[in-house]
Amino acid sequence: MSTICVLGLGYVGLPTACLFAVHGHDVLGVDTAADRVAALQRGDLPLDEPGLQMLFQAASTSGRLTCRTEPAACDVYILAVPTPIGLDNRPDLSHVRAAAEAIRPHLRPGALVILESTCPPGTTATLLRDLLESDALTVGETLFLAHCPERVLPGRILTELVANDRVVGGVTPACTQRAAELYAPLVEGRIHGTTATIAETVKVIENTYRDVNIALANELAVICDHLDIPAGEVIALANHHPRVHLHQPGPGVGGHCIAIDPWFLAAVHPAATPLIQMARARNDMMPRYVADQAMAFIDQGHPTVAVLGISYKGNVADTRESPALDVVGDLMRAGADVRVHDPLVEGVPGLPLTDLDAAIADADAIVILADHRSFRDLDPQRVGAAMRRRRLYDARQSVDLALWQAAGFDVRRLGGHHG
């Protein structure tokens, strides 16, 4: 068993730290946010992710997980720090740099350093190597460096951490082998060894693939609105083709991955990536488009609108980069009195949330922005009885159209479907 220092106790770092601890490693979890560390030391979990509370408790009570704000000497360092983009859409690697500088004084010969954070291809083999290699530490001989991207889906992190295949890319073959040996006992999926730069490129193209395909689905929704045909039916029928897999349209792309990672690829060669950049632009246009479509459908000055779902996607409590926040802002600017209800989200700074009854009381319309499972179970008769007018704009193709129409609702979906 090794001593492992995990830097960055967020959505990836904290579950990873807990998992290594319950597998018998001594884990030091490090985060520069003192309040987050203090909460963890008290036993409070700052993240909402199914199963994490239990795993964290098991890791803490075993005595194998401790949390602090400073790293210490360990056998393995896993960097799971944020890699945001700046206002100019350029990657901001300052947290990777700071984490590398923080561990540098503690590195001993034989240390393994793994970057899990998503980054522009080349980061591990150049930036990280330059920061950590020294006269005493030679990469591939006395210092082992690898990129092992996380590929877990928020809402399913614990399942996917174990079940998913892992791509493990070392700066040298010896680095790949050391990193693969660390993950092998934890991972039920296959471990695919490769180079660090290939692993980085694999990670960002996975999310770029999704972003470009969502952009295509969103463009199709706009076309279907224009043709007044249902995009949902077009997509379902096209997807019967064995080599077609169209994604779903929606109010935009949120979360901390898919809207950001394409910029890591674009940064490598800006002039050669018009498709990737155009897909980003298409997805970024969607909140405004959805707000405009919803207001045109409601067709009333200063309507009272009940927004259902403010998280960045269905069945998660996470509102990071949620396109629903932009839609709400656009609805308000267009003159709507907006009440927001989300059964999973506890709060959003600067945006009051209400319960369902308060949101729909005397409302002129409902706008669905996140496809939470619980919305499918709503009773349209009961909901309609509380409203002033029975109108529903569904930006997620999430509710049973016929059911709501039977309850007297005028329904419109993103992608051209009239009720």
Q: Note the residues at the interface with ligand SAJ (CB under 6 A).
A: 118, 150-154, 206-207, 210, 214, 217, 247-248, 250, 253-255, 257-258, 312-313
**Nearest distance from C-beta of residue 235 to ligand SAJ, angstroms:** 9
Provide the residue type at 7 as one letter.
L
DSSP string of 272-296, one letter each residue: G-HHHHHHHHHHHHHHHHHHHHHHH
**Nearest distance from C-beta of residue 257 to ligand SAJ, angstroms:** 3
Residue with tokens 């929704």: 221
Residue 153 DSSP one-character state: P
Q: Is 74 a catalytic residue?
A: no
Q: Which of 5, 203, 224, 313 is catalytic?
A: 203
Between 153 and 238, whose beta carbon lies closer to ligand SAJ? Answer: 153
**Nearest distance from C-beta of residue 122 to ligand SAJ, angstroms:** 18
Residue 370 to residues 217, 222, 348, Cα–Cα distance (Å)? 17, 19, 15
Between 111 and 368, whose beta carbon lies closer to ligand SAJ? Answer: 368
Q: How many Cα neighbours within 13 Å face the side chain of 185?
A: 12
Between 71 and 251, whose beta carbon lies closer to ligand SAJ? Answer: 251
Q: Which of 5, 18, 224, 257 is catalytic?
A: 257
**Nearest distance from C-beta of residue 174 to ligand SAJ, angstroms:** 27
Between 151 and 341, whose beta carbon lies closer to ligand SAJ? Answer: 151
Quick check: 11 and 42 in contact, CB under 8 A?
Answer: no
User: How far apart are the C-alpha atoms of 139 and 207, rounded to whole Å?
Assistant: 29
Instruction: Name every residue whose Cβ is closer than 8 Å to that of residue 221 and which is 6 or more positions away in sequence.
Output: 231, 249, 414, 415, 416
Q: Is 119 a catalytic residue?
A: no
**Nearest distance from C-beta of residue 370 to ligand SAJ, angstroms:** 7
Kindly list the strands in the beta sheet with 65-68, ordered across the sheet, starting from the edge strand earlier in the chain.
Answer: 65-68, 26-30, 3-7, 76-79, 111-115, 143-147, 166-170, 191-195
Between 218 and 304, whose beta carbon lies closer to ligand SAJ? Answer: 218
Q: Which residues are catalytic?
A: 203, 257
